[in-house]
Structures are given as structure tokens and as C-alpha cells.
Amino acid sequence: MVDLLPSLFEKVGIIVIAAFLLSYMKPFRQMIGHEHEMSKKIMFIALFGTFGIISNYTGIEIGNHAMPEGDWHAEIAPDNAIANTRIMGVAIGGLLGGPFVGLGVGLIAGLHRYFLGGFTAGACAIAAILAGVLSGFLGKRRRKHGTITPWFALPICMTLEAIQMGIILVTAKPFERSWELVQVIGLPMIIINGFGTLLFMLIIQSITRDEARTRAVQTNLAFLIADQTLPFFRQGLNQTSCKRIAQIILGLTEADAVAITNEHSVLAHVGAASDHHVPKVGIATGLTKKALEQGKIIVAKTKKDIYCFHDQCPLQAAVVLPLQVQQKTVGTLKMYFKHPDKLSQVEQELAEGLAKLFSTQLELAKAEMQTKLLKDAEIKALQAQVHPHFLFNAINTISVLCRTDVEKARNLLQELSAFFRSNLQGARQILVPLEKELEHVNAYLSLEQARFPDKYHIDYRIEPRLKEVLIPPFTLQPLVENAVHHAFSHVKSKGEIIIHAYFKDDTMRIVVEDNGKGISSGRIDELGKHAVESIKGTGTALHNISERLEGIYKGQASLTIESETGHGTQVKISIPLNEKGA
């Protein structure tokens, strides 16, 4: 029995060496982790069935307690049997591939063993099939709760080998011969098959870990590239943004050149072959045209496949990936290599992942642009509005003054003209100087004070250096209008409005303050967050200002309201001075 161990170690070494060599082959590595696919199941059956056949052929023939010479057995003598590693291959196939694979491998290995002959042929065939089915169900159950580890597979294979010994004792005749055989081969085969399974599964585990590590590195790299290129994709596909994107990809990947095109021309090409792959020139390669037409990923492994018109082009391989927005191809990302070997499966998968991320970024950029255009349209519509009652009141006031104070009527007409001019300019601009916004406020107040002389006083406290700072138009006038119509209604004392603009912490702070009746705590929570019901006006002024600040300054500006009933209200605006807006 002890003499059998070295020979069995040699036999199991054949299978383990084969597994080690297979671990470096791409088809085998691709099979691991994809056992649920039918094509992969068939491949598993063929592979591990072959292992079973090899184990049968290379087993150790046992007869009359001796081990005859000869390592390859095409036929077993009727009174003899073989000691081999067949159950190891069957069990591993079942554990990895499930019941279907286990049954297939068991049938191949078992039937082959049956036709070799020997007095245990039937028992070994039954044991092989049973081992395949049992290991398949055990593997399937294990995958529902975790992974199949080497230490999980080890006791299963040893148990299945022990079951084979039991089947031999029960079915092989004569019993005395079976018992003598089991005494000789039982323990060595259980130990060696278990040991071989452990080594094989450690190799499989290594493959799985390598694949997981590679995917993690690819994912991290893809996210790093996506993070660095996002600001440029938000600008859309143009020559400047695409050049920066291509430079980033070139620096972080193994590519020798990177190019980005739109539907008609090369927008950027950095790296090798920049002398003839020139931006703003029509598509230089037939490969790119093909990708644009088909909207599919295209891989070229030879210079001929690239279809470059330049005879001395150093680029020998490429992967061209379509960039799609709403399922329409709007451009391509191209990664070129000087040597075909550099275009590995890892680089190809990374490029495919980047193309998907970039397409998503372009879709988001387009959606963001559409949102911005819609917001701009809403702003322009707001800026173009003039409340009819304000216009009628102003005209009526000027009409009365024409009979009593011609000079004042003339001045008010100029203020009304200035007010309308500010509306028209604001409808065409996203940002205006603070000084222009103050002129708009002053024109509005002049018209209002003509109707209600001495009802309120306005105090400007503006730091001179801030007058040229750009702010969204119609930011201050609605705040002052709110104070006039809401803060001082039903207030007998003279009102005061203070507009204060000052510099603090790299921001411009604007405070519009009044000493009016204030706002209740229940009401103040609603203002600025959404439109509210209003007897005078639309009830949307504060909400619109807040939304515009949010959209233009990308969340870096703010509007806050502080108020106390009976003591007035403060509306505070903070605008970053290092942000140019839209």
C-alpha cells in the first residue's frame, strides 16, 4: 500500500502540471467564472472528461497484489484493476460546473473506464457517474452561499473516493478479491486524489484572484480617467476638450497614440503618427469610417486592417470604439499601438469600458446643456416681463405730473426708459455689472417714489471696487420690489431699505434689508425653496433668484432670508468672486 503512493503522486502530477499550464492560456482563464454559460459547460465537460480518460490510461494496473510495469493501459486484464486519479477530475468538474457538467464528465470518464475492462470496470463506471452528479449538486449548493474553496473541495473528493471503494466492495465480484484490492489501493487513492484536488483548486483560486485583481485595477483606472476627463466632456466634442482628453488617456494607458473624432473629422490626435493624423482633417483611416458606419467596436491587429493612407505609418494595431449619444454614433475614441502584442485583452476591455463611460458622460453633458438652455430661456422670459399694473401706474403718474411738474415728469420718463432698457439688456445677458443692476433698482424706485413720496428711504452702501463685479440681472430689483409691496404695506412709519454690498472670504456679499413688518417663521421656511401664493405678483421672485444662482454658479452661490416679525427682513446673497458664471 505504501509502495503505491510515489507512483500515484507521479500520476496526479500529470494532471496538476496540465492545470498549471492551462492557467496561462486565455481560453481556460475565460472559462473560470463563466461556468453558467452553456458553451462553457460543454468546454468543461470536454476538458475534465479528457482528464478522466488520461487518468484511466495512465493508472497503475493492480493484479495479484503487484504493480506491473507499463504506464499506458489500452486494456485491463479481466482479473486486474487500476489505481488512478479519475475521481479527482470528475469531482473538480462537477464542483466547478454543476450537475450537468458533473454528469457529463462522469459519463465520459466512467464509460471509458468500463470499456478498458477489469473486474472493477462496472463498479468504477458507476462510481464515476455518481461522483460527477454528487459533486455537481454540492458545488451548486455551495455557490448559493459562497465560493468553492480548495479546502471545501478537499474533503468532498476524498469522500467520493471512499464511496468508490464502497461501491467496489458491494458490486465487484468476487468479494474476497475486491476486499484485497481495497486494502491495497483504498487509502493511497483517497489521500492522493484529495491532495491532487487541493493543488488543482489552489491553481483555480489563483486564476480567480488574478482576474479579480485585474478587474479591480481596470475599474480603478477607468474611474480615474473618467474623473479627469469629465470636465472636458462637459464642454462637448470640440478640438480643445478632445485634445486634453486624448492626452489624459495617453498618459494613463499603454496606448502609443490616442485620437478622438466626431462624425466628420479628427478632433484630436496625440502620440505616434501625429505628423499625418492631423486634427481638423477628414477621417484618415478606413477603420474609423467603418466604426462610424456600423456603430460597433472594431479591432485591428495589422497595419493593413487600419487602412491608413500613409505608407510609413508606425501604427500596427488599434481598437476603435464608437461614442454614442441616445443610440446615435457621434464620434469615435481610438487607441493605437505600435506593436500588436501591446493590444492585449486587458487594454481592449479597458477601452470598451472607457467608451461606455465616455458615451454616458456625453449624454449627461448634452442633458446638462439642454437644462441650461431651458433655464436660460426661463430667465429671459422672466427678465422680459413687466407687470402691467406697474406700467399703467407709471404712465398715469407721469400723465398727472405733466400738468403739475413738467420737469419731474420729464425725469420720470427718462427713468422709465432706463427701466425698460435694463429689462431688454437683461433679456439678452446672463450676467451684468453690479453697477447696472443698481441703476435698474434706482429707476424702479424713482417711479415708485413718485407715486408715494416720503413713504420710504433707500440707503446704498456699496464698496466701490465691487461695482464692476458681474451678477445675474434682475437679482436686486425683485428684492427691492418685495420690500416696497410687502414689507411696508399697512405700516404707518417711514420705511427704510438698505442695499449693502461688501467683500468677505473671496465672495461678494449683498444684503437687502428693510425695517418693515417682517415675515412669520412659518412663512419664511417656504420662501426661496419654491413658488408661494402671493396677492401681489406671482410669488416666484425669490425662488427664481435662488434657482438662477444655483444654476449659474453651480451650487457655490447662496440666498438666505432672515426675518423677525415687527422688526424687518434681511435677504443675503453670497456670490463667489472666483467663479465667472455660465
What CATH number should be reported for the domain holding residue 336?
3.30.450.40
Contacts 24+ apart (CB under 8 A), 282-289: 284/308, 284/309, 284/310, 285/309, 285/318, 287/318, 287/320, 287/334, 288/261, 288/320, 288/332, 288/334
Instruction: Assess whether 132 and 273 both reside in one domain.
Output: no
Instruction: Assess whether 179 and 34 both reside in one domain.
Output: yes
Above 70 in pLDDT, residue 375? no
pLDDT of residue 130: 93
- For residue 484, the 8-state DSSP code is I
Above 50 in pLDDT, residue 582? no
Instruction: Assess whether 168 and 103 both reside in one domain.
Output: yes
pLDDT of residue 129: 92
Above 80 in pLDDT, residue 241? yes
Instruction: Assess whether 61 and 179 both reside in one domain.
Output: yes
Instruction: Assess whether 516 and 485 both reside in one domain.
Output: yes
Where is the domain boundary, 364, 397, 412?
A: 364
**What percent of the chain clears pLDDT 70, i.e. is strictly above it?**
83
Instruction: Assess whether 133 and 281 both reside in one domain.
Output: no
In tens, the pLDDT along 464-492 reads 989 889 988 888 888 888 888 777 776 67
Banded pLDDT at 373 (limits 50, 70, 90): low
Instruction: Assess whether 126 and 163 both reside in one domain.
Output: yes
Q: What number is the average pLDDT over the span 187-205?
A: 86
Q: What number is the average pLDDT over the span 245-272?
A: 86
Instruction: Assess whether 405 and 518 both reside in one domain.
Output: yes
Above 80 in pLDDT, residue 196? yes
Contact 178, 165 (CB under 8 A): no
Report the CATH number that the domain containing residue 43 is assigned in CATH.
1.10.1760.20
In the block, cell 501591446 appears at 342
Residues contacting residue 190 through CB under 8 Å, at least 6 positions apart = 158, 161, 162, 165
Does residue 376 form part of some domain? no
What single-letter amino acid sits at 112? H
Query: Does this model's pTM top 0.85?
Result: no
Instruction: Assess whether 12 and 121 both reside in one domain.
Output: yes
Above 70 in pLDDT, residue 255? yes
In tens, the pLDDT along 166-181 reads 998 999 888 888 898 8
pLDDT of residue 500: 93
Where is the domain boundary, 300, 334, 364?
A: 364
pLDDT of residue 391: 66
**What percent of the chain clears pLDDT 90, i.e. is strictly above it?**
9
Banded pLDDT at 83 (limits 50, 70, 90): confident
Does residue 378 form part of some domain? no
pLDDT of residue 134: 93
For 102, the domain range is 4-213
Pairing, β 495-504 against β 456-462 = parallel
Nearest by Cα to 552 from 431, 440, 469, 432: 431
Banded pLDDT at 61 (limits 50, 70, 90): confident
Structural domain count, the chain: 3
Where is the domain boundary, 335, 364, 393?
A: 364
pLDDT of residue 374: 55
Does residue 247 form part of some domain? yes
Does residue 222 form part of some domain? no
Report the CATH number that the domain containing residue 450 is assigned in CATH.
3.30.565.10
All three cell numbers of 480: 427691492
Above 80 in pLDDT, residue 163? yes
Does the N-terminal peptide bond of residue 464 adopt cis geometry, omega within 30 degrees of 0?
Answer: no
In tens, the pLDDT along 33-57 reads 655 677 778 888 888 888 888 888 8
In tens, the pLDDT along 111-153 reads 988 898 888 889 999 999 999 999 989 988 888 877 788 888 8
pLDDT of residue 266: 83
In tens, the pLDDT along 285-325 reads 677 778 788 888 888 888 777 777 777 888 888 888 888 87
Instruction: Assess whether 131 and 202 both reside in one domain.
Output: yes
Nearest by Cα to 322 from 347, 348, 290: 290
Does residue 120 form part of some domain? yes
pLDDT of residue 127: 92
What single-letter amino acid sits at 154? L
Nearest by Cα to 504 from 465, 474, 542: 465
Instruction: Assess whether 388 and 360 both reside in one domain.
Output: no
Answer with the residue of higher pLDDT: 103 or 294. Answer: 103
Nearest by Cα to 323 from 224, 249, 219: 249
Does residue 224 form part of some domain? no
Above 70 in pLDDT, residue 339? yes
Above 50 in pLDDT, residue 69? no
Answer with the residue of higher pLDDT: 368 or 319. Answer: 319
Name which of 402-406, 438-442, 501-505, 511-515 the model is least confident about.
Answer: 402-406
Banded pLDDT at 155 (limits 50, 70, 90): very high
Does residue 351 form part of some domain? yes
Does residue 568 form part of some domain? yes
Above 90 in pLDDT, residue 405? no
Above 70 in pLDDT, residue 3? no
Instruction: Assess whether 433 and 403 both reside in one domain.
Output: yes
Residues contacting residue 32 through CB under 8 Å, at least 6 positions apart = 96, 204, 207, 208, 211
pLDDT of residue 539: 54
Alpha-helix residue ranges (DSSP H) falling in 429-558: 434-451, 477-482, 521-524, 541-552
